[in-house]
Structure 1
Amino acid sequence: MKRLYTFFTDDLLFSLSLLVALISCAFGRFSLDSIDFKVIFCLLGLMLLVKNFEKLGILTYFADKMIDYSANTRSLIRNIVILSFISSMILTNDVAILTLMPIYLTIIKKFPEMENKVFGAVLLIVAANLGSSFFPFGNPQNLFLFSYYSLSTLIFFKWSIVLLFSSTLFLLISFLFIKKSVIPTQHTLIPTINKKKTVFLSMIGGLILLGIFNALPYYIVIPIAVIILTVYDKELLTQLDYKLLGTFIFFFIAVGNFAQVELLSSFIKVQFTTSTRTFFGSILVSQIISNVPAAILIAPFTDQAQALFWGVNVGGLGTIIASLANLIGFKLYKEYYPTQSKTFLWQFTAVNLVFLLFFLLFFAFIL
């Protein structure tokens, strides 16, 4: 009983998602179609790949390089946040966070007295969410809306350039709140990397990306990659955060069940009739069920495609569940700093609400 109690209380987010999923089964019929297996498979593959990179010392190598290229702590955080912002446009927000957060956390482990550590981690997640909105394939909600409304490439970029401009402006302003401190001189040598193993893992990473970008069937290439990585190092398979995968599965089940509630569908039909209502309403719904399910839930009931596009992308800011990428960032931070969960959640919520307020004011003059 004690072990069972520890299992559920150790990760309250996992336990809460399980409870909500069970409650939701009373409102809708459970279906495996509610679960986005592509997200689950890709997460599993990427988590295992990052663990292999970490064990090989590649994360430490890139962390040391990033430190060398930074003049002070502000430029250090700024550099990795900008890298997150740009890379998420192509790699998607989930992949950018899974790749860069461990590097950032490896960096700050070297400087225990460094200020703004949590703020930097939060900005990295915010930047990934915002940067991923620029391309149709940057995040799942954009890919869905691009296909559902049959948007032309020109129209899409007319909408996304507004988000890109405002996001860049707000991120640049946020850097001013990071204290400038001298980075202590490193006395440790930059580790040498096994090139053959690095090339091998990079090829497996490329295989996983082909699955993510639908160049090859994910349900074939991801399992193949997982099997290869497992054979390569069996021990790492036991070190993965399976509760994170469970949280995503329970979350998908809950959203799928609640979407079947007729009262909820009727409410959406009435509320999402204008651009203003759709924008603010999609942000609100995103805070409760996350922006990807919000886009899927609202799209069939409104023709306000532009407002919905802006709303669900901005809606990734706010609560920890507003974007599934937020959960990934939180879980990674908790893995490195298990005693700082409350501090992270407090700062995450505060920073996200400030960003969200800026966007609300910005788009109030555009809609």
Structure 2
Amino acid sequence: MKRLYTFFTEDLLFSLSFLIAIISCYFGKFSLHSIDFKVIFCLLGLMLFIKNLEKFGILTYFADKMIDFSSTSRDLIRNIVFLSFFSSMILTNDVAILTLMPIYLTIIKKFPEMGDKIFGAVLLIVAANLGSSFFPFGNPQNLFLFSYYSLSTVTFFKWSIVLLISSIIFLLISFLFIKKRVLPKHHTLVPKIDKRKIPFFSFIGCSILLGIFNILPYYVVIPIAVIILTIYDKNVLRQIDYKLLWTFIFFFIAVGNFAQIELLSTFIREQFTTNTQTFFGSILVSQIISNVPAAILIAPFTDQSQALFWGVNVGGLGTIIASLANLIGFKLYKEYYPKQSKVFLWQFTAINVVFLLFFIMLFGFIL
């Protein structure tokens, strides 16, 4: 019983999705057609690939390199925040935060006199959420939307480039509020990476991307990539977040079942009929249940795909539960500075709200 309790309480989103899926089965008839298997297969392939990249140590390599290029506290925060921003495009926001946040916190412990510690940590999380929105595979909600609406590559990048450019501008403005403090010289031994493995990872990564972009059939490419990666390192299979995969499956089931309730589906459709309604509505829903389930919940009831794309990606800003990556970042910071958790939450919310307001004004004008 104790193990069962721990299993369901350590990931509340998983437990909530499981409960909703069970309840939904009372109102609708379960069907496998409700599950988007392309998203599930592609997500599994990406997770295996990313775990192998983590072990490869490429992010740690670049992070340690950047310390040598940082002469002030502003330089250090700017460098690691932009590393989080650009690496999350390929490695997802969760992985960027899981890898870079401990590195950042380890670095600042070496410089006790350095200020703006929390500000830097929050910007690292914000950057990971925003940067991961540029590619379809950068975060789960984009992978789902890209597949669900059968978006063309050109269309997707037309939308994401606006988010990319505006994110960079807002981040550059935020760096101006960080005080410049000269950091003492601190030489680190930069870890070496095995260059012989680069062609292997490049081949696997490109194969997975070809499947995601529908250039090659995903149901052929992804299983082959999974088998190769499993043979390469069997231990990685144990490190996959299977609860995330099941969370997606449960939400697919729930949405499919609830869609069969005519009164409920009509009500939801009426709330997301225009660009403006969909944009603001998806932001609001993201603040309550986080942006990934928000995308899965809303998509079947609206054809405003552009507004939904911008809404759920911007919606990762705001509350601590607006994105799973936010919770990961908070958990990591709390491990290093347990006494600062309340201050962190306050500053996190304040900074995120400011960023969210900037994006609301920008996209409110564009839509």
TM-score (norm: length of structure 1):
0.75
Aligned match of 2:101? 105
**C-alpha contact 2:282 2:311 (8 A) present in aligned 1:** yes
TM-score (norm: length of structure 2):
0.75
Q: Deviations over 1:15-70 (max 9, x none)?
A: 22222222232333323333333333233223323332333433322221232333
SS in 2 for 1:110: helix
Q: CA deviation at 1:119?
A: 0.8
Q: Deviations over 1:100-136 (max 9, x none)?
A: 3344235225325271353133222332255459x9x
Q: How does 1:109-258 map to 2 (within 5 A)?
A: 109-111=105-107, 113=109, 115-116=117-118, 118-128=121-131, 131=134, 139-140=142-143, 143=146, 157=158, 163-164=163-164, 166-178=166-178, 180-183=180-183, 185-258=185-258
Aligned match of 2:324? 327
Matched, 1:16 2:1: no
Cα pair distance change 1:99/1:9, threshold 3 Å: closer
Identity %: 62
Q: CA deviation at 1:76?
A: 3.4
Gaps of 5+ in 1: none
CA distance in 2, matches of 1:41, 1:152: 23
Q: CA deviation at 1:227?
A: 1.4
How many residues were matched structurally? 351
Aligned match of 2:72? 72
CA distance in 2, matches of 1:33, 1:2: 35
Cα pair distance change 1:27/1:327, threshold 3 Å: farther
**C-alpha contact 1:271 1:278 (8 A) present in aligned 2:** yes
Amino acid paired to 2:46:
L
Q: How does 1:293-304 map to 2 (within 5 A)?
A: 293=296, 296-300=299-303
**C-alpha contact 1:314 1:356 (8 A) present in aligned 2:** yes
Cα pair distance change 1:358/1:258, threshold 3 Å: farther
**C-alpha contact 1:207 1:221 (8 A) present in aligned 2:** yes
**C-alpha contact 1:318 1:353 (8 A) present in aligned 2:** yes
Q: CA deviation at 1:186?
A: 4.3
**C-alpha contact 1:282 1:308 (8 A) present in aligned 2:** yes
CA distance in 2, matches of 1:365, 1:177: 26
Q: Deviations over 1:322-355 (max 9, x none)?
A: 5xxx325645875797688977777655543332
Amino acid paired to 1:111:
I
Cα pair distance change 1:186/1:252, threshold 3 Å: farther
Q: How does 1:48-87 map to 2 (within 5 A)?
A: 48-83=48-83, 85=85
CA distance in 1, matches of 2:196, 2:165: 41
Say what the alpha-carbon RMSD is for the aligned residues.
4.0
Amino acid paired to 2:101:
L
CA distance in 1, matches of 2:11, 2:252: 18
Q: How does 1:303-318 map to 2 (within 5 A)?
A: 307=307, 310-318=310-318
Matched, 1:292 2:295: yes
**C-alpha contact 2:134 2:157 (8 A) present in aligned 1:** no
Greater shift, 309-318 or 221-230, is seen at: 309-318
Amino acid paired to 2:100:
Y
Aligned match of 2:114? none
Amino acid paired to 2:23:
I
Q: CA deviation at 1:84?
A: 5.0
Q: CA deviation at 1:151?
A: 12
CA distance in 2, matches of 1:313, 1:239: 26
SS in 2 for 1:245: helix
CA distance in 2, matches of 1:336, 1:45: 29
CA distance in 2, matches of 1:271, 1:215: 35
Q: CA deviation at 1:262?
A: 1.9
